[in-house]
Structures are given as C-alpha cells and as structure tokens.
Amino acid sequence: MPDPLNAQAQRNAIQYNPFMPANFLQESASLTTTGKLLHFVRLLRQRYGSVLNHIPEQSARALYLGKEMPSLALAEAFLHRIELYQLHAESPLQLVVIGPTQAGKSTIVNLLLEQPLAKVSPLAGFTVHPQGFCLNIREPQLDWLSEFYDGYRRLPSEALPARRYDYYAVTEAGAKPDHALPAMVIWDTPDFDSIDAAAYRDSVLKTAALADVILLVVSKDKYADQSVWDMMSLLEPLAQPTVICLNKVTDRSRDIVVQSLKQKWQNARQGAPAPITALPYLENGGAESWSALQGIAQSLFAQVKAAVREIRRHQHVGQAKRLLSAHWASWLEPVEAEHRVLGEWRTLVDQAVRDALLIYRRDYLDHPQHYETFQRALAELLTLLEVPGLAKSLTVARQIITWPVRQIVKLGRTAQTSRSSDKSHEVAMLSQTVDHLFIGLAETTLLKREEALVTQDWWRQLGELLKLEKKSLAERAQQGIRDYFESFQPEIERTARSLYAQLQEHPAMLNSLRATRVTTDAAALALALKTGGIGLHDFIITPAVLSLTSLMTESALGHYMNRAASELKQRQYAAVESLFSTLLGDTLRRLPEKLNPADKFNIPPETVEAVAALPR
C-alpha cells in the first residue's frame, strides 16, 4: 500500500472527464498540509455520502461503502481538530466518555463531576446528543467548538430535541477549586450500538476525535460486544490515552471479567491493556448508591489523572497520518476502481475498433474475391479512353454525342453512387463490422458485471446505456459509411487518372488497347456502369473486362497497376480507420460521460496523486 502522506501513487492513464468536480488542486493550493488532507478527506466523505444516497440501501455496493464511513468521519473530525488547535493552542483538556448502550456512561460522567448534571435514565438510547460539562472551565473558552461542530446547533441541555440529532450542549459545572481532576470538559456521548445509533454515529465519532483522554465505559453484559472492540480498534491509530471503567460488575465475577476484558483488548489492539477500574452493580439507585460509588471511585480518578499526564498534543499530526495510512487503501479502492473502469472502457473501445479494422482488412481489402474498389477505378479508366473506330468524318458527330453522354454520366453519378453504395460489398461488410463491434462491447460489459463488487454498477449502467444508445449510434455509423463511400470516389478517379497518365506515356500500348474490340466493349460496359445500366459485380465478370484486365496486367503497365492498387488500398484503409476512430471510437469513449454523476465519485487521478504525494 502506498504511503498516502509521502510516496507518490501511480497515475492512472485516463483523461479527466468534464463531469468531474471542481479542481481540488486549485482549491487547496493555499492550505497547509493538514488543511489539504482535511480538504481531501472531506471531499472523499462527501462523495461517499452522495453515492450512498443514490444507490439501493441494502445493495452489496452500499454495504461495502458504508463500512468506510466511520473511519472517514473520524479522520475528518480529527484533522479538523488539529487545524483548530493550531489556532487555539491553549484550549482546555477534553475527556470523552464513550461506551455501548446502558453501560452507565451518564452515571460515570456525574461521578467524575461529583454532581448529577448528566441526565440518567434506565431506557436504552436515552442520550442522543454530545453533552459537554465544563469542570472549572468557562464557556467562552469553548467558543471555537461552534466551528468544530459545524453543521450542529448548540442548545442548553434541557432544550435538546429528542428526535433531532444535529445538536450538542455545553454546560458549566460551576467552580470546584478543590476537585481532584484538573480543569477539563467532560463529554457524555450517545451509545454506538443501539438500533438508532447509525443516526447519531457521526456525532459520537466527532466527539471521540476531540478527546485528549478516552474513558471507555462498559458493563459486565456489554464488554464483549463486537461493537465495543470495533470502536476501540477504529480509535487505535490516534493513540489517545485511555481508561476503562468496568461498570455494574459483582465482586464474585470481577476478576474473571477483568481478565476477559484484557484479553479482548489484546485481540483488538496492540500494546498493553488500558488501566481498568471495576465499579459494582448497585441495585438501589438512590442517594446511598451515589455515595457508595463516590467512595470507591478514587482509583478511577487516579487513572484519569495519570492518563492526562500522557497527553501529547504535539503528536497529533503523526497520529492523523497513522489513521489515514490505516484506511487509505480501502478508502480509495472504489475511487481507483472508477479510474480503472474508465481506463478499461477506453481500452475496450480501442480494441474493438482495432478488431473492426482487422476484419475490414481481412475480409475486404485483402480478400481476392471481395475487393472491388480497384475495379471501380478501372471503370473510371475505361471512360477516359476514346472509343476507337470512328472515321474523321464522324469527329463532329462524336463531339456532339460526347456532351449528352457526359451529362448523362454526370447526372446519373449521384444516383448511381447511392445505388452502388447499397449494393457494394464493402458497404455491407462495414455495416456488419459495426454490428459485430456493438455485440462485442455488449458481451464484454455483461461479463464485467460479474467481476469486482465495487465496479458492478458501473458496468451494468454502461451496458444499459450502450443498449439505449446503440440504435442512434448504429444509424450514425451507417450514414457515416455511406458518406465515406461517396467521399472516396475522388480517390478512385485519382487512381484512374494516374493509370491513364501512365498509358499516355506508352503510346504504343494505348493505341494497341484502342485498336481492340475488347476495349470498345469494356468502355461501353463502363459507361453502362456509370449510368446505372449494369451493376459492379456484373461489370467485373464480363469477358471483355476480364480480358482487358488480364491484358493490362500482363503488359509493361502491370507493375504500375499493382502499385496503384496498393496505394489505393492504403488510402482506403486510412479513410476507414479515420471513420471508425472518430465516428465510433471517440463517441464510445465519451459514453461514460452520459452516466449519472450522482452515484459516481468523480475524483480525478490527479487529485489522488497530489494528496498521496504530500510530504510527511
């Protein structure tokens, strides 16, 4: 895995699409390294959210992407915290109490405050908002929290709405100069494992990212839950000093549960287990229970104070880099998968065009029976030869006759060319090649849908779009083929004039040809071909044309005819290659631009590369 904060990722060789988002590099040019990372993680998280909002909630892709959202939320919050701490270096200590539902978090918060300020309820999921309690801290010292909790609204704790989760509260606990703990903000947080926890998960992670010290509160019934250790594993790269409060445990089971809890820690995280304070389960929830907890909680206070001494705010940047490095590859997998799909699609289109051109060369240009274009050039040549056998006395009549014949040829050429294109083996073969190209692409997209999970939707949508666009694309291709057939006619005439010029350089051969009945018959057939009186296939196989072709090939002109035919093929292939590359290739390469961008990440490779190359 490339180090996202040091090494430069390999650049995916695809073009930047016009439906990509605004230029990240320009937007973040003036930011610090941490600011650029925050900007990118925020962009990435926004794109994840957009994609998840536009795909089925229970789809395999949604489940895959949903697993990455907690780490993205935590990384964004922690990077934001670093940025704010650079502006507010003397910000108060933050102790954040986290834990599963009904673990007794609010009770422990009150125990730390030495007064019952956090509301306690036997109902699961009662606390649904982050609530900070200022221990020997004045609220104005926390004005910067409004920026940290951007998108949340601050209210007094008693005014927090039960059905809205985008709120938080900060309450002064009053002056307690003799308190055992240093001045700090103690945060009570919602659970992370109840049915509704997904709705307020981001606020829990944001508050956890704020923590200088984490206090994990678990009960005997909840300490082994996977959700607890998933959370602790997620927080591990931040290396926040951590204390564990094992709540509601009996004396009989305490040692066993503590030992089991330590084993759970070692399975989920590296290093020695955090210090553990075990608090008893007290059936009586009144004042006697509160006094009993206060009497036995001195070890918890001592462990919290020891954790405070381990705080190293100057190491925040390194902690952030460890968090990003732990998740970088999995975050970018769907983004880079999009890059791969776009690159693979262009490669598939390019290969399909190359295959089509190979078919065209094999089945037409190089096929001895199917190639007919040079015969059309020969027909043009024959019309350039004067019809022999006319006496001088008929010269004037020939001149008079020539004009209407030429006009007939001129007027009939457009209609004849259109009819010829309909009957041309080249046009039919090109049309079949286009159909083959579309069928091949459709089959490939179908096969690609069975590959990697994160690209299935891409290939499915591409396949559906190709099916939807196929008719119009095919019609454009067919018209393009007909236009090519007509526009290539001057090249055929050019070849004919070149051959005629060579004949003029060999007067003996030219006169010999004019002296034969074969030439007269062939020239008449050529005239019939041009006026639409005969088809090209019939023209080619007539004895006169076959004899004349053999006569010219075996003469001194044969070598030049072969070269002229070869050059004509080269120009013809170049014209068809341009036709396929522009009319089909370019259009198909841009086809993904018509996909709905809402369920795509649309983060260009240049952005990923720039962030990956940021220095340590």
Same domain flag for 399 and 266: no
For the chain, the distance separating the N- and C-terminal CA atoms, rounded to the nearest angstrom, is 16
Residue 590 has pLDDT above 90, yes or no: yes
Q: Are strands 242-249 and 276-280 parallel, antiparallel or unpaired?
A: parallel
Q: Rounded to the nearest 5 degrees, what angle is found at the Cα of 30, between the Cα atoms of 25 and 36?
A: 60
pLDDT at position 341 over 70: yes
End residue of a domain, out of 310, 337, 354: 310
Could you tell me if 139 and 172 are in contact, meaning their C-beta atoms sit under 8 angstroms apart? yes
Look at residues 228, 212, 295 and name the one whose alpha carbon lies nearest to residue 267: 228
Assigned token pair, 270: 């590296």
Burial level of 254, CB count in 10 A (0-12/13-18/19+)?
Answer: middle
**pLDDT score at 500:** 80
Place of tokens 């649309």: 602
Residues 411 and 287 in one domain: no
For residue 555, pLDDT over 80 is answered with: no
Please indicate, yes or no, if residue 252 is contained in any of the structural domains.
yes
Q: What is the CATH number of the domain that holds 294?
A: 3.40.50
Classify 613 in phi/psi space as left (phi over 0), alpha (psi -120 to 50) or beta: alpha
Q: Work out the pLDDT band at 398, boundaries 50, 70, 90.
A: very low
Percent of the chain whose pLDDT exceeds 70? 78
Examine the domain organization and report whether 298 and 419 are in the same domain: no
Residue 594 DSSP label: G
Asked whether residue 568 is domain-assigned, the answer is no
Q: What are phi and psi of 603, to 5 degrees?
A: -105, 115
Is pLDDT above 50 for 48?
yes
Sheet with 93-98, side-by-side order of all strands: 153-154, 167-172, 131-135, 184-188, 93-98, 213-219, 242-249, 276-280
The answer, yes or no, to whether residue 545 has pLDDT greater than 60, is no
Share of the chain above pLDDT 90, in %: 53
Tokens at 306, concatenated: 């020891």
The pLDDT tens digits of the residues spanning 356-372 come to 999 999 999 998 878 88
- Statement to judge: residues 293 and 399 lie in one domain: no
| pLDDT in the model for residue 539 | 52
CA 600 to CA 583: how far, in whole Å? 27
Is 342 inside a domain boundary? no
Mean pLDDT, residues 450-467: 86
* pLDDT the model gives residue 556: 59
The verdict on 169 and 261 lying in the same domain is yes
Whether 441 is in a domain gets the answer: no
The pLDDT of residue 498: 86
Residue 453 lies in a domain: no
260/385 same-domain check: no
Domain assignment of residue 10, yes or no: no
DSSP H helical ranges for 270-394 = 287-296, 298-309, 316-360, 373-384
Asked which of 59-73, 190-204, 377-391, 489-503 is least confident by mean pLDDT, the reply is: 377-391
CA-to-CA distance for 535 and 375, rounded, in angstroms? Answer: 12
Residue whose entry in the numeric block shows the structure tokens 């003799």: 178
Q: Are residues 263 and 411 in the same domain?
A: no
Whether 262 and 387 share a structural domain: no
What count of residues does the chain have? 616
pLDDT tier, 548 (very low <50, low <70, confident <90, very high otherwise): low
For the chain, what is the largest distance between any 2 Cα atoms, rounded to a whole number of angstroms? 141
Q: Compute the distance between CA of residue 125 and CA of residue 193 in angstroms, rounded to an integer.
A: 9
Average pLDDT over the chain reads 82
> Does the pLDDT value for residue 505 go beyond 90?
no
Task: Mean pLDDT check: name the lowest of 9-18, 278-287, 364-373.
Answer: 9-18
Taking a C-beta distance cutoff of 8 angstroms, is the pair 201, 71 a contact? no
Pair 272, 405 in one domain: no
Q: Is 249 helix (H, G, I), strand (E, B) or coil?
A: strand
How does residue 117 score in pLDDT terms, banded at 50, 70 and 90?
very high
Question: Alpha-carbon distance 458 to 131, whole Å?
Answer: 43
Asked if residue 94 lies in contact with residue 184, where contact means CB atoms within 8 angstroms, the answer is yes
Final residue in a domain of this structure, among 268, 285, 310 = 310
Distance (Å) of CA 342 to CA 16, 128, 334, 386, 458: 10, 43, 12, 59, 9
Residue 349: pLDDT band (50, 70, 90) is very high
- Which of 309-315's residues contact partners 24+ apart within 8 Å by CB, and which partners? 310/241, 311/93, 311/212, 311/213, 311/241, 313/85, 313/212, 315/239
Same domain, residue pair 157 and 270: yes
Judge whether 224 and 210 are in contact, CB under 8 Å. Answer: no
Structural domains counted in the chain: 2
**pLDDT grade for 455, boundaries at 50, 70 and 90:** confident
Strands 131-135 and 242-249: unpaired
Domain that holds residue 404: 373-423+507-555
Least confident stretch, 156-170, 217-231, 368-382: 368-382
What number is the average pLDDT over the span 328-339?
A: 93
Which of the residue ranges 53-67, 250-264, 451-465 would you say has the lowest mean pLDDT?
Answer: 451-465
With beta carbons less than 8 A apart as the criterion, state whether 130 and 187 touch. yes
In a domain, 513, yes or no: yes
Most confidently modeled of 115-129, 263-277, 286-300?
263-277
Q: Which of 165-169, 459-463, 494-498, 513-517 has the highest mean pLDDT?
A: 165-169
Residue 426 three-state SS: helix
pLDDT single digits (tens) 64-95 = 899 999 999 999 999 999 999 888 878 999 99
Q: What string of DSSP letters covers 521-533?
A: HHHHHHHHHHTTS
pLDDT at residue 547 in the model: 60
Short-list 79, 30, 83, 70, CA closest to 320: 79
Q: What is the pLDDT of residues 516-544, one digit of tens each?
A: 544 555 455 455 555 454 455 555 445 55
Over range 174-190, report the average pLDDT: 93
Most confident of 114-123, 204-213, 333-342: 204-213
CB of 587 within 8 A of CB of 474? no
Same domain, 208 and 125: yes
- Within 189-305, strands assigned E span 213-219, 242-249, 276-280
Helix/strand/coil for 172: strand
Nearest Cα residue to 300 out of 268, 282, 277: 277
Give the model's pLDDT for residue 466: 95
**Shared-domain flag, residues 293 and 378:** no
Spatial separation of the C-alpha atoms in residues 563 and 574, rounded to whole Å: 17
Beta strands in 13-122 (DSSP E): 93-98
The conformational region for residue 249 under phi > 0 = left, psi -120 to 50 = alpha, else beta, is beta
pLDDT, residue 554, reads 60
Q: What is the mean pLDDT of residues 454-467?
A: 89
Let me know if residue 45 belongs to a domain.
no
User: What is the structure's pLDDT at 612?
Assistant: 87
Per-residue confidence (pLDDT) for residue 233, from 0 to 100: 96
